[in-house]
A and B are shown apart, each in its own frame.
Chain A
Amino acid sequence: MLKVCHLYPDLLNLYGDRGNIIAFVQRCHWRGIPVEVVEVNVGESVDFEEIDFLFLGGGSDREQNLMAADLLLRKESLRQAIEKGLVVLAICGGYQMLGQYYLTHEGQKIPGLGILDLYTRAGEKRLIGNIVIESSINGVPVKIAGFENHSGQTFIGDMEPLGKVVSGFGNNGQDHLEGARYKNVFCSYLHGPLLPKNSSLTDLLIQLALQRRGLESTLSQLNNDLEEAAVGVIVERLVK
């Protein structure tokens, strides 16, 4: 049984975030891998050691602040679980939150959880639009497509990005990198949402979650025609 944790679904429900949970669960489901989803809201307890896949999304400013306050209380247990291989997908605000700090326009440093070697600073304009990145999944080059919409510009330190920007802005619109990878943590500005279309990434997350529990992690093949077609629409439009 894999346990999926959706953090703050009440607060962070922008941009079809739910789609990421749906994709992870369904792809387990179709393969007969039992899976359970727990939703954890502000003030509710959760033991990250017991979780196999943690999803952290983004929200509007007010909601983001409420989430940050709650998440800071869980900082140590989350850091330990991540060091021990917890599989995490963090999007937009969730991504920024895992870093060192967020630098506002006014020059104020809002501390993050400090788990990952990255920081974010407020940008001049919002980076909005369809985006295609090239990533490597189990050694295979893969095009990942989604939609980005963020004003924060993130700079990663000594870490792997999720991929290289083929078309779009990515982390900051400057260094052509998108997202971040650390152990089993995957961060990205791609919503879209990310997992339903990009099935090889979803399968990698499932694999890593199974491996961490010492379970059989060879996944049976699924029909990915629609997934590939949905990515293909964006790739064809942006990459010519």
Chain B
Amino acid sequence: MNIKLMIAVIAAKLAASLSRMFGGKGSSLPGVVARRIYQGTLRDLAKQARKDIIMVTGTNGKTTTNNMIASVIASTGCKIVINQEGANLITGVTTAFIRYANWLGRIDCDYALLEVDEASFPKVLREISPQMVVVNNFFRDQLDRYGELDKTVTLVREALKDLPQVHLILNSDDPLVAQMQQATGHSATFFGLAPNQRPATGSQQTREARFCPMCGEELQYENYQYSQLGSFVCPGCSFKRPEPEIEGFAIETVGSVLNASVKYHQAMTTLSIHTHGFYNVYNALAAFTVGSLIGIKPEQIAKGLLTYRPAIGRMETFFYQGKPAILNLVKNPTGYNEGVNSLLSIAGTKTVFMAINDNDADGKDISWLWDVDFEHMVKANHEIELFVCSGLRAEEMALRLKYAGIPLEQITVIKEMEPAIKKALEGPGKLTYLFSTYTALWSAQKILLALAEKEVPHAEGVSSIS
């Protein structure tokens, strides 16, 4: 019996109950407490996973991918540990294990599924050795907190290099991600999309990786999916888009379901996922790849993915007096552009709500709003009669819309969230589309839950098997 671990876990669980009593989410405090009492908490808890530890890192889609993997693995009856939405720093990861541990510090689980923040990734890897690491994409994100993108990519690459052994699951279409096999020397399985899968509305503006990560030459592209994702080849060295083993194609949205076909080796299968947004196909392909690597049959993976439900703010759908309202987290230009594109792909009139905060977790620098192509929405102006801007930096959001060319009379600033959301829900559109930065997300969801019906049960933590 590990007495130190036991004491740490007990203290952490007490802290969690206390924190909940005072209305906290308790997603990092227990981890902080336990780690202070016993530094080996995370290491000792994590090694109890009977099978694999699987980590997801990268910029966009970590939560979605991790929850999709959970849906796939849980559908086979395996027991999992998963960290909660956004609690992806080392304290959040520690908290996840504590939540699943009993008072003796014992965990009964087959797989641990962890989304890990890029900046915390090296730190977490010093305490846990994953069998698999999924890397989805790298985009510019919250510059003032992490420094520039190059540094983030280097951080992840060096951390992976230091691992004695790991299998990588990599997006073949993102040069910043695809380089990880060559650069780290680890084994890898690539997933990607067949060329030219995205609807033509794509934004050309935000491209992160113009230069070969291997030799520095400017990359050439045969085609783009979005941002810097596409079929790239370096004229200076042998680096090019790896041929993906798992390839998605024939993407379509039917109602609230996203369909895609997957080609793997010689076989093919079709996936249906309850979500919107082209980029979510990448997340599903990553989950598919993990599933097949641990030996789950493709039909079973598809079944598992069908049970996936979006977590908070990942295209989460509500109904207000029968009218749909979609909540979408935004944190960087690429994500916001994709959100705008998916909003524009929905037919009919829309009311748009945008909450911009500039707290630490949002990124204090909101200049990235000027890198988002809101100009696309001007063309669809007749379909969007009202823009409601809210949050700590509502005025800057409104200003961005004004300079994008949206007429002033269509822009309303209501700094307080509740009246702003109400205004948007009662707006003239047949659908309400809500964008929110990170720290505005929970209050937005809370307000929506109070005012509107939720479409489906919440997928948080996949509670059915925990």
Contacts and interface: CB of A to CB of B under 8 A. Distances in A.
B106 interface: no
Contact of A149 (B144, B205, B206, B402): B144
B367 A147 contact: yes
Interface string A54-67: 00000011100000
Contact of B211 (A62, A149, A192, A229): A62
B395 A129 contact: no
Contacts of B365: 15, 128, 147, 149, 191
B364 A16 contact: no
Interface string A178-205: 0000000000000111001100000000
Contacts of B210: 10
A130 interface: yes
Contacts of A196: 370, 399-400, 403
B370 A229 contact: no
A226 interface: yes
A72 interface: no
B148 interface: yes
Contacts of A193: 367, 370
A116 interface: no
A229 B395 contact: yes
B268 interface: no
A26 B370 contact: no
A44 to B, nearest CB: 14
The binding surface of chain B is classed by DSSP as helix
B144 A18 contact: no
Contacts of B150: 60-62
Contact of A226 (B140, B367, B402, B404): B402
B395 A230 contact: yes
Nearest to A232: B395
Interface string B396-439: 10111011110010010100000000000000000000000000
B403 A15 contact: no
A226 B409 CA distance: 12
A61 B230 CA distance: 25
Contacts of B252: none
B246 to A, nearest CB: 32
Nearest to A194: B367
Nearest to A9: B205
A128 B400 CA distance: 22
A130 B140 CA distance: 20
A188 to B, nearest CB: 13
A4 interface: no
Interface residues of B, number: 33
Given A26-B403, A149-B144, A196-B403, A229 B367 contact: no
Interface in A138-193: 147, 149, 191-193
Contacts of A14: 140, 143, 148
A18 B393 CA distance: 19
B369 interface: yes
Contacts, number: 81
A73 interface: no
B141 to A, nearest CB: 13
A13 interface: yes
Contacts of B405: 26
A233 interface: yes
A128 B148 CA distance: 13
A227 interface: yes
Contacts of B85: none
B110 interface: no
A22 interface: yes
B403 A22 contact: yes
Contacts of B400: 19, 196
B395 A233 contact: yes
A129 B399 contact: no
Contacts of A7: none
Interface centre among B143, B205, B370 (most CB of A within 10 A): B370
A223 interface: yes
Interface in B361-380: 364-371
Given A14-B143, A233-B395, A23 B364 contact: no
A189 to B, nearest CB: 13
Nearest to B402: A226
Given A13-B371, A16-B369, A226 B393 contact: no
Contact of A19 (B143, B364, B367): B367
A102 B206 CA distance: 29
A15 B143 contact: yes
A69 to B, nearest CB: 13
Contacts of B148: 14, 60
B396 A230 contact: yes
Interface string A215-240: 00000000100110110110000000
B156 to A, nearest CB: 17
A23 to B, nearest CB: 6
A129 B364 contact: yes
Contact of B370 (A16, A226, A232): A16
Contacts of A22: 370, 403-404
A152 B36 CA distance: 37
Contact of B144 (A60, A128, A230): A128
Contacts of B206: 13
Nearest to A129: B364
B420 to A, nearest CB: 15
Contacts of A197: 396, 399
Contacts of A23: 403
Contacts of A233: 392-393, 395-396
Interface of B: 140, 143-144, 148-150, 205-206, 210-211, 216, 364-371, 392-393, 395-396, 398-400, 402-405, 408, 411, 413
13 contacts: A15-B365, A15-B368, A18-B370, A26-B403, A147-B364, A147-B366, A149-B143, A193-B370, A196-B370, A196-B399, A226-B411, A229-B395, A230-B399
Closest 10 CB pairs of A and B: A16-B370, A19-B370, A16-B367, A230-B395, A229-B395, A15-B367, A60-B148, A230-B399, A230-B396, A147-B365
